[in-house]
Amino acid sequence: MTAFQVELDHISMTYQSPSEETEAISDVSLGLTQGEFVSIVGPSGCGKSTLLDIICGLVKPTRGSVRLQRPAGYMLQRDYLLEWRTIRQNCLLGPELQKHNMKEARTYVDHLLETYGLAEFADHYPRQLSGGMRQRAALIRTLALKPDVLLLDEPFSALDYQTRLAVVDEVWTILRKENKTVILVTHDIAEAISMSDRVVVLSARPARVKVIYQVRLSTAGLPLQRRQDENFRKYFDAIWKELDIYVSLG
Amino acid sequence: MSASAKPSLERKTYLQKMRIHRVVVLLTQLMILIAFLLIWELAANARFIDPFITSQPSRVLAAIIRLHQDGSLYLHVWVTIVETFWGFILGTGGGFLCAVLLWWSRFLHEISEPYLVVLNALPKVALGPLLIVWLGNGSAPIIGMALLISIIVTIISLVSGFQDVDPDKIKLLLSFGATRLQIFTKVVLPSSLPTLISTLKVSVGLSLVGVIMGEFLVSKAGLGYLIVYGSQVFKLDLVMLSIIILAAMAAIIYFGVSFVEKKLLRWQK
Ligand SMILES: Nc1ncnc2c1ncn2[C@@H]1O[C@H](COP(=O)(O)OP(=O)(O)OP(=O)(O)O)[C@@H](O)[C@H]1O
Ligand SMILES: [Mg+2]
């Protein structure tokens, strides 16, 4: 049990506020090995973001502990590129805040921008970029600190459907190429299956691990191609059922 | 991206139209001013209005020339500018520092809230006599008045600007392990720049208001002094002259701040 790169050990979280007490997470344990891609799906408001906040160290769990070798990189729902900084300056934010050697950091960031097709936009401001490019820039900003583990909180939900499919392939390719360990939170079941090695289904609040699916598709390749796999539907239906989504009319 | 190779005919006509529109607006604005001065002058000459109490442009001009020749025009203008400058620097600088402190410490902010609300609503001019007793009858109480009148508004609007910053942007910085000082300098301050500038616009105007109010209460020189003196000895030319110079000062201040705004907010466009 030591081979895990990220290990959540019986995590529980209860928020206190003047009006009430909210139990967000109840006894979640999970381990990820190096290079693994795990998606987390669960009903709205069940505590998914809270879980990532805890792994990142932004929120201290009420009970339990997180084991990580190095701080994880966090990518949020929107890109939050700072409008007054150029793309390169945005990508250098992490190293700058942590007072790293800026010359090395810059070389690395320029290399990433070059590799992932943003080199010519390095000196542009965020508003000059399309949604997909902005999200790629946000990913490079996260990668600039060379984290082993990446936490992605619905990173594609601000994109329109067409862009989203393309960006999912792009981001997935980048993360595979950099051999990162990834935890992705998403509402999109198809996205979760197509990108991941495992899909964790959480219960309604307080979040508990309901079931974990090991995704075994025979189709190798990009997420978009994996959606065509014959077994894809099977996983989709199973997870849909687990999530217990009721569509109420009226 | 708009400046592509060859503008189309439609684009050219559109731009032409916009140019003409701008010229028309500017000309109309000028004409209104000229018409106003002209009517004022003629009405006074024809005795429709009494120039003794309304003055008239030619008399104001003569007064300006008179004060220019004996040099006192520059003394009064200079005194008001210097007092406004210090009132503005102290009020805005002090307000900024207080706002940073209140952003930094939620506790302090909570404590100070009712005091700020009351001080904001209090008419500052009521404190004028106290300022004179405490600070004497030189420039100090006048600068004090300018400071008082601008500092509270500055604090209140800056603090709310600082607190308006998207919490997720702060979360992003925290995920990079940023310190509180870094959060302030890298995100809070730059994202509040538009608030900062609109606050600047308000507080520089308020400083001028404070200075004139202060000069009304106690002064030996300055445009406010000239207004009070002019009205007491029924030299309305002096009063009008001071008001016109004040309007010019306000205009210069406005364009100055707009210039700074353009420089600072280049990324916004
Ligand atoms: N700082 C906080 N203080 C009090 N309660 C909180 C706080 N943050 C989150 N909560 C509550 O905890 C629960 C879980 O929130 P969380 O944001 O983790 O859910 P989520 O699964 O990410 O939701 P969504 O699907 O909307 O993204 C919610 O009921 C929320 O209201
Ligand atoms: Mg969430």
Q: How far is CA B86 from CA B109, B134, B200, in A?
A: 27, 18, 14
Please report which confidence band the pLDDT of residue A241 belongs to, taking 50, 70 and 90 as the band edges.
Answer: confident
Q: Residue A216's pLDDT band (boundaries 50, 70, 90)?
A: confident
**Rounded to an integer, what distance in angstroms lies between the CA atom of residue B251 and that of residue A171?**
53
ipTM of the complex: 0.87
Between chains, do B176 and A80 touch, taking CB under 8 Å as contact? no
The arrangement of strands across the sheet holding A149-153 comes to: A73-75, A149-153, A181-185, A37-41, A198-202, A209-214
pLDDT for position B4: 55
pLDDT at A162 over 90: no
| DSSP secondary structure letter of residue A200 | E
Alpha carbon B17 to its chain's center: 34
Check residue A2 and give its pLDDT: 58
Average pLDDT over residues A215-235: 86
**pLDDT of A88:** 95
Hey, what's the torsion of the CAs at A47, A49, A51, A53, to 10 degrees? -140
Are B228 and B215 within 8 A, CB to CB?
yes
pTM for the structure as a whole:
0.84
Query: Above 50 in pLDDT, residue A29?
Result: yes
What is the structure's pLDDT at A246? 58
Q: What is the mean pLDDT of residues A59-88?
A: 92
Contacts of B186 in chain A (CB under 8 A): 82, 93, 96-97
* Residue A250 in this model has a pLDDT that exceeds 50: no
Domain map (residue ranges) of chain A: 1-72+149-250, 73-146
Q: Which residue of B has its CA nearest to A84?
A: B267
CA of A168 to the centre of ligand 2 (A): 18
A165: nearest Cα among A155, A175, A174, A156: A156
Of A169, A212, A210, nearest to A191 (Cα)?
A169
When pLDDT is cut at 50, 70 and 90, the band that residue A104 belongs to is very high
pLDDT of residue B268: 65
What does the pLDDT read at residue B1?
47
pLDDT for residue B3: 52
Per-residue 3-state assignment (H helix, E strand, C coil) for A23-48: EEEEEEEEEEECCCEEEEECCCCCCH
B37 burial type by CB count under 10 A (0-12 exposed, 13-18 middle, 19+ buried):
middle
CA-A43 nearest atom, ligand 1: 25
For residue A99, give the 3-state DSSP assignment.
Answer: coil
Cross-chain residue pair A58–B193, CB shorter than 8 Å: no
Backbone angles phi, psi at A32, to 5 degrees: -120, 135
Residues B221, B223, B228, B231, CA torsion sign: positive
Close Cβ partners of B99 (under 8 Å, ≥ 6 residues apart): B154, B155, B158, B159, B162
Helix, strand, coil in percent for chain B, rounding step 5: 85, 0, 15
Atom of ligand 1 nearest to the CA of A47: 18
Contact between B176 and A145 using a beta-carbon 8 Å cutoff: yes
pLDDT of the residue at A121: 94
**Atom nearest to A187 CA in ligand 1:** 25
- Residue A243 is predicted with a pLDDT of 84
**Exposure string for A10-42, b = 16+ CB within 10 A, e = fewer:** ebbbeeeeeeeeeebbbebebbbeeebbbbbbb
Asked whether residue A69 carries a pLDDT value surpassing 70, the answer given is: yes
pLDDT at A70: 87
What's the pLDDT score for residue A61?
A: 94
Of A82, A125, A145, the CB nearest to B190: A82
Task: Give, for ligand 1, the residue of A17, A26, A44, A49 to mutate: max count of ligand atoms closer than 8 Å to Cβ.
Answer: A49
Between B193-217 and B128-135, two packed helices, what is the crossing angle to 10 degrees? 80
Chain A residues inside the 8 Å CB shell of B263: none
Residue whose CA is closest, atom 2 of ligand 1? A15
C-alpha of residue B5 to centroid of ligand 1, in Å:
51
What are the strands, taking DSSP E only, across B205-265?
none
**For residue B143, what pLDDT is reported?**
95
Q: Taking Cα atoms as reference points, which of A194, A201, A144 lies closest to residue A173?
A: A194
Please state the φ and ψ torsions of residue B197, each to the nearest 5 degrees.
Answer: -70, -40
Q: List the alpha helices (DSSP H) in chain A.
A: 48-56, 87-91, 93-97, 102-115, 131-143, 161-177, 189-195, 223-226, 232-243
Predicted confidence at residue B184, as pLDDT, reads: 96
Asked if pLDDT for residue A124 goes beyond 60, the answer is yes
The answer to whether B267 contacts A98, with C-beta atoms less than 8 Å apart, is no
Pocket residues: Cβ below 6 A from ligand 1: A 15, 17, 22, 24, 44-50, 205
Measured between CA atoms, how close is B265 to chain A, in angstroms? 8
pLDDT < 70: residue spans in chain B: 1-5, 267-269
CATH topology classification for A1-72+149-250: Rossmann fold (3.40.50)
Question: Looking at residues A238-244, what average pLDDT do you find?
Answer: 85
